[in-house]
Amino acid sequence: MGVQIQPVSIWYNGQSKSASELDARIIYDDLATSATFYYELKEAVVVDEEGASSGGAVLSVGNVAMDGQDYIDWDNSNEQAYVYIAGKLNLVII
């Protein structure tokens, strides 16, 4: 489960879509000097009045690396990792 972000427009399959969720996981950590995070920017999941859901599509993916003083200062929390990733991607967590 990710964090909600201020919506951003992403060009996806010939259409402008709105990503409002940042999901991330760590894919590498040498436990000493660096870590790499994989992220996904997703559409919001919309639930209609009948309870059916739609959306949630992954619109963009990538990796963000953390090293140097940023890695040293990281407290290994998910929250601080999301703040770091969002900062690198110029996203605003809401």
pLDDT above 90 (res 1): no
What CA–CA distance (Å, rounded) separates 87 from 91? 6
What CA–CA distance (Å, rounded) separates 4 from 49? 22
12-21 residue pLDDT tens: 999 999 999 9
pTM for this model (two decimals) = 0.89
**In the prediction, which pLDDT does 47 show?**
78
What CA–CA distance (Å, rounded) separates 44 from 30? 33
Q: What is the DSSP letter of 86?
A: H
Which residue, chain included where needed, has tokens 């940042």? 22
Contact indicator for 63, 37 with CB cutoff of 8 Å: yes
31-81 residue pLDDT tens: 999 999 999 999 987 777 887 777 789 999 999 999 999 999 999 999 999
What CA–CA distance (Å, rounded) separates 84 from 3? 13
